[in-house]
Structure 1
Amino acid sequence: MGDTLNFQDIIKKSALHLDAFRSISYIDMVLGLLCAFLIGLFIYWIYRRTFRGVVYSYNYNVSFVLMTMITALIIMTISTNIVLSLGMVGALSIVRFRTAVKDPLDIVYMFWSISAGIASGAKMYPLALGGSLIIGLVLAWLSKRKLREQAYLLIVRHTDEPANELRVELRKLDGKLKSKTVRKGFTELTIEIMLRDDNTAFVNKLSTMEGVQDVSLINYTGDYAQ
C-alpha cells in the first residue's frame, strides 16, 4: 500500500504541480529551437538545390523546417516530465500520415529533420549541427556525382513496313524493347534507352525518316515518367 501511495504522490506532483517545468532554462529552450530552425533552413536549402523530382513543392520543403523545430520542442517537453512523456507517446501513436511519398529520398529528408530535432531538443548541439553539415555535404556530393546517363523511353510510331534506315538507327541506340503495339496501319515501339548529357538530336533524325509518323522521348525514373 505504501508503494502505491508513493507512486500516486509522484504522479500528482509531476502531473498537477508540474514542478519539473520550474527548472527549465529559457536559454536552453531558445538555443534548442534556434539550432533546430537553423538546421531546418539548411535542410530546406539542400533539398531545393538537389531536387530532381517532377514538380517541386514549396510547402513540402518548408515542412522540414517546421518538423525539425516541432520535434525539438517535443523532446524538450518530454525530457522534463515522465507523465508528459508517456502521454506524448500515446498521443503521437494515434497520428496517421496518409500523404504518399513517391521518392524514397524524401523519406531520408524526413528522418534527417526528425533526427536533427531530437538532437537539438536533447541539447546535443554539436552533434545536431555537425551531423547535419556532414549529411548535407554528402547529399550535395551525391547529387553532383549522379550518373550522367539517365533512362528515357523512346516511343516510335511507324508504318507496318519501316525503312531499313530506321532499324539501323534503333540498333545504334542500344536500347531495350519494352513494348510493341501493332494496329491497323502502324506499329508503335517503346524502347528504353540511356542518354548522356541530354543528347537528343537523334529524335529529329528519326522523325524525318521514311515510314515514321511520330517520335516521342520521355524521361522517367523508376516507375513513373517525368
Structure 2
Amino acid sequence: MGETINFQDVIKKSMLHLEAFRSISYVDMLLGLVCSFGIGLFIFWIYRKTFRGVVYSYNYNVSFVLMTVITTLIIMTISTNIVLSLGMVGALSIVRFRTAVKDPLDIVYMFWAISAGIASGAKMYPLALFGSLVIGLILAWLSRRKLKEQVYLLIVRHSEAATDEIRVQLRKLDSKLKSKTVRKDFTELTVEVMLRDDNTSFVHTISNIEGVHDVSLINYTGDYAQ
C-alpha cells in the first residue's frame, strides 16, 4: 500500500523547505552586522547634527545605533527557522514600551533605525544603505530650512505709558500676540515673533523705551522653551 500523505504533512514539508528559512552563513552575518552598525552610526551623526530640542540626550541617541543592530539580529534569527520566527513574534508582542517621546521627530528616527535593521537583516544591503542616505539628506535639508526661520516668544513687562511705543515696535516685526496680562502696576505681553536671522537688536530697542520694566526673548520649540 502506498504512503498516505495528508494536508498537514504537505504544509509541514513545504514550510520546512522554504528558501527563506535556511541557515545563514558567517559572511552574511558579518555583512549584516557591519551594515547595520554603520547605518546606526550615520543615524547617530544625523540626529546630533540636526537636534534642535532643549536638552540633547547622548544615551537616547546611542539607542538608535543599538536599535539598528538588535533589529538586524532579530531578523537574522527569525529568517533561519519558522519555529523561531513564530516564537519571536509571540515574545515581542508582550513587550510594552512606555517611554514618553517628547518630540514627534524622534519617532521618525526610531522607525528609521528599525527599518534599516530589518533591511540589513534581510540582506537587502543596497536598499538599507541607499535608503538611509536619502533619509539622512532629507532630514539635514529640512533642518537647515528650519534654522532660517525660528519662532521666539517675546515677553514684555511695561507700564501703561509705554503701550503706544511698544505697539509701534511690534508692527515692525513678524509678530502675533499670544497673551496679555494686566495688573495694577504693569502689563505683561507675550508675543510670538518669527526671526529669519540672529538679529535681536529690537530687544534692546524695546527695553530702552521709557516705562518698560524688562524684556525677555525665549526660543520656542513647541513643547519647551529654552
TM-score between both structures, scaled by the size of structure 2: 0.88
SS in 2 for 1:193: strand
Listed as ranges, the matches of 1:157-172 within 5 Å are 157-162=157-162, 164-172=164-172
SS in 2 for 1:225: coil
SS in 1 for 2:47: helix
RMSD over aligned CA atoms reads 2.3
In 2, distance between residues paired with 1:182 and 1:165? 17
How far does the alpha carbon of each residue in 1:98-151 deviate from its partner, in whole angstroms, 9 at most, with x for none?
111121211111111101100100011111111111211222222223361211
Once the two structures are TM-superposed, the CA of residue 3 in structure 1 deviates from its matched residue by 5.0
SS in 2 for 1:146: helix
In 2, distance between residues paired with 1:150 and 1:141? 15
> Equivalent residue for 1:80?
80
TM-score between both structures, scaled by the size of structure 1: 0.88
In 2, distance between residues paired with 1:185 and 1:119? 64
SS in 2 for 1:194: strand
Do the aligned residues in 2 keep the contact of 1:40 with 1:68 (CA within 8 Å)?
A: yes
Do the aligned residues in 2 keep the contact of 1:78 with 1:88 (CA within 8 Å)?
A: yes
> Equivalent residue for 1:201?
201
SS in 1 for 2:91: helix
Do the aligned residues in 1 keep the contact of 2:71 with 2:117 (CA within 8 Å)?
A: yes
Residues 163, 130 of structure 1: alpha-carbon distance in 2 compared, 3 angstrom cutoff: closer
> Equivalent residue for 1:116?
116
In 2, distance between residues paired with 1:43 and 1:50? 10
Once the two structures are TM-superposed, the CA of residue 27 in structure 1 deviates from its matched residue by 1.3
Listed as ranges, the matches of 1:130-169 within 5 Å are 130-146=130-146, 148-162=148-162, 164-169=164-169
Do the aligned residues in 2 keep the contact of 1:159 with 1:212 (CA within 8 Å)?
A: yes
* Count of matched residue pairs: 218
Do the aligned residues in 2 keep the contact of 1:163 with 1:209 (CA within 8 Å)?
A: no
Once the two structures are TM-superposed, the CA of residue 6 in structure 1 deviates from its matched residue by 4.6
In 2, distance between residues paired with 1:175 and 1:63? 39
Identity of aligned residues (%): 78
- Unaligned 5+ segments in structure 2 are none
Do the aligned residues in 1 keep the contact of 2:149 with 2:197 (CA within 8 Å)?
A: yes
SS in 1 for 2:218: strand
Do the aligned residues in 2 keep the contact of 1:177 with 1:190 (CA within 8 Å)?
A: yes
> Equivalent residue for 1:17?
none
In 2, distance between residues paired with 1:209 and 1:145? 34
In 2, distance between residues paired with 1:3 and 1:199? 79
- Unaligned 5+ segments in structure 1 are 14-19
In 2, distance between residues paired with 1:62 and 1:91? 24
> Equivalent residue for 1:92?
92
Do the aligned residues in 2 keep the contact of 1:163 with 1:210 (CA within 8 Å)?
A: no
Amino acid at match of 1:212: V
SS in 1 for 2:62: helix
In 1, distance between residues paired with 2:107 and 2:135? 14
In 2, distance between residues paired with 1:68 and 1:217? 39
